[in-house]
Structure 1
Amino acid sequence: MMKLTKQLKTAILTVVLLPIRVSIICFFLISGWLLACLGLWGLTEEDLRAKPLAGWRRKLTPVLCFLGQSVYRAGGMNVVVKGKQADRKEAPILVIAPHSTFLDGGIIYATGFPSIIVRRESGTNPYIGKLINFTQPVYVWRDDPDSRQNTIKEIISRATSDQDWPQILIFPEGTCTNRSCLITFKPGAFYPGVPIQPVCIRYPNKLDTVTWTWEGPSALKLLWLTLTQPYSYCEIEFLPVYTPNEEEKRDPKLFANNVRAVMAKALGVPVSDYTYGDCKLMARAKEMNLPNATSLVEIQKIRHRLNLHQANVEENLLNSNVLCQNCDRIIFSEFCKLLNLSPNEHATQHLFRLYDKNCNGVIDFRDYLLGVLALSNSRTTLDAVKLACKIYDTSGLGRLSVEDFSKALFHTLAFSKEYAFEIFEQVDRNKLGYITFDNFLAYAVKKAEFANLFSLSHEEKFIPQRNGEICPNDFAKKVD
Structure 2
Amino acid sequence: MTRPLGGPPRVVLFFPEGTCSNKKALLKFKPGAFIAGVPVQPVLIRYPNSLDTTSWAWRGPGVLKVLWLTASQPCSIVDVEFLPVYQPSPEESRDPTLYANNVQRVMAQALGIPATECEFVGSLPVIVVGRLKVALEPQLWELRKVLRKAGLSPGCVDAGAEPGQSRMISQEEFARQLQLSDPQTAAGAFSYFQQDAKGLVDFRDVALALAALDGGRSLEELTRLAFELFAKEHTEGPGRLLYKDGFSTILHLLLGSPRPAATTLHADLCQAGPSQGLSLCEFQNFSLHDPLYGKLFSTYLRPPHTPRGTSQTPNASSRGSPTALANGTGQVPKQKGD
TM above 0.5, one fold?
no
Q: TM-score scaled to structure 2, two decimals?
A: 0.45
Q: TM-score scaled to structure 1, two decimals?
A: 0.33
